[in-house]
Amino acid sequence: MKSNFISKISLATAMLLTFTACGSQQNAEEASTNDTSVEQKANEKTEEAVDDTAKEEEETSKEDEKEVANEDQVFEGRTLNVVATSDSYVPLFEEFTKETGADVEFLSMSSGEVISRTKAEGKAMADLWFGGGLDAFMAAKDDDLLESYNSDMTYKIPEEYKDVYGYYFSKGLTVVGFLVNDAILEEKGLEAPKTWKDLADPKYKGEVIMSNPAISGTNYAALKGLLDLYGEEEGWSLFEKINDNIDFYSKRGKDPQEKTAQGEFAIGIIPVDQKAFDAAEDYGLTVIYPEDGIPWVPEGVAIFKDSENTDIAEAFIDFMLSEKAQTMIAEIDGKDTNQLIVPDIKGLDLGLPKDKLIDEDLSTFGSQREEILNKFKEIAGDKASEE
């Protein structure tokens, strides 16, 4: 009886413990579920807060960009008037407009015409002069037609590629070399000339074409470079021998390349650029940098004195010397000399041996021009007609 009673109590206790355990487990599961729900809601709120913050930051960033853009458009509604050597620079001018807001209007005109017209009108015909031979810019400086400008950007240009007082700067260099028609040389049993002295060999008589230095800035640079390389006496003596191999001096700067490519001449004295290498590939020609020395001339840029938009012209000079603009100019001009103007920029690589550039005296490039051309005309005679 007592044993039976104890058994019943034990059974009741076990059942009670089982119910309690089940209740505890259920409560634990409910608590866990509640905790998870709370955590999910908290995470959702956190995510919403992050999203809201991100949206606010994005909106703030856009506002900042608008403010910066507005600050950059300092010349919006104004126009920079440019005299340029070519309409190929339109993409460069458009980039300047994009960065500053200034519109750019340009007129293509020769350097000589720029100077004569400015003198005749007695005032600046534009705000900026972009491109042309250095001798014209030197003459314009002497005639008091240019404005001086210096900045942190212009100080980066090596001294040999700018006016010491900031009246003009180089946007690049034109270098002079030879373009030879390999088929013609082979047909006549001639080797390609490697130096200017080679070019003076009588075996090339009638095979060489050169533009008139009085018309072509590139070939005036070639003539002046020879005189700087060999000195007055030896330089003129060398040129007289080269002149003996030239039947006539062309009136167009592009004639030597075109007529050599067409097979009219075996050797052309040319400005070396990407177009020359393209022609060489297309027509079976070879571009040669003279081993005894490479003539060169800076391509000038300057601000006209008393122009209406001097501040925009100054901004363009700084823009022109930026890495982006110099890269664009290198592509447009097809030259690899921009790296000399602004070191370390990226540009074309046409294999120019920079150590072969002639040590030229640019201080006399303009002042001796008339004297040099008079001597040239005396040597060339009727072969250098300008009519």
- Strand, helix or coil for residue 158: coil
Count CA within 13 A, CB hemisphere, residue 269: 33
Alpha-carbon span 103 to 123, nearest angstrom: 22
Q: Is the pLDDT of residue 175 over 70?
A: yes
- Asked which of 53-67, 108-122, 158-172, 313-327 is least confident by mean pLDDT, the reply is 53-67
Q: What percent of the chain has pLDDT over 90?
A: 56
Alpha-carbon span 171 to 369, nearest angstrom: 22
- Asked which of 120-129, 163-172, 333-342 is least confident by mean pLDDT, the reply is 333-342
- Strand, helix or coil for residue 48: helix
Buried b (16+ CB within 10 A) or exposed e, 296-332: bbbbbbbbbbebbbbbbbbbbbebbbeeebbbbbbeb
Q: Is the pLDDT of residue 67 over 90?
A: no
Q: Contact, 298 vs 173, CB < 8 A?
A: yes
Closest by CA to 85, choosing from 104, 107, 105, is 107
Mean pLDDT calculated for residue range 326-353: 83
Encoded tokens for 357: 């550039």
Burial of 337 (0-12, 13-18, 19+ CB in 10 A): buried
The pLDDT of residue 376:
97
Phi, psi angles (nearest 5°) of residue 341: -75, -50
The pLDDT of residue 117:
86
The pLDDT of residue 4:
43
Q: Measuring CA to CA, how many Å separate 13 from each of 6, 7, 144?
A: 11, 10, 118
- Which amino acid is present at 119? K
Buried b (16+ CB within 10 A) or exposed e, 15-28: eeeeeeeeeeeeee
* Alpha helices (H) along the chain: 2-72, 90-100, 111-121, 134-142, 182-187, 196-199, 217-230, 232-244, 255-261, 274-283, 310-320, 323-333, 338-341, 369-380
Encoded tokens for 376: 């040239």
Q: Is the pLDDT of residue 247 over 90?
A: yes
Alpha-carbon span 168 to 175, nearest angstrom: 19
Q: Is the pLDDT of residue 41 over 60?
A: no
Work out the pLDDT band at 288, boundaries 50, 70, 90: very high
CA 80, distance to chain mean position in Å, is 20
> What is the DSSP code (8-state) at residue 205?
T
CA 160, distance to chain mean position in Å, is 18
Q: Is the pLDDT of residue 52 over 70?
A: no
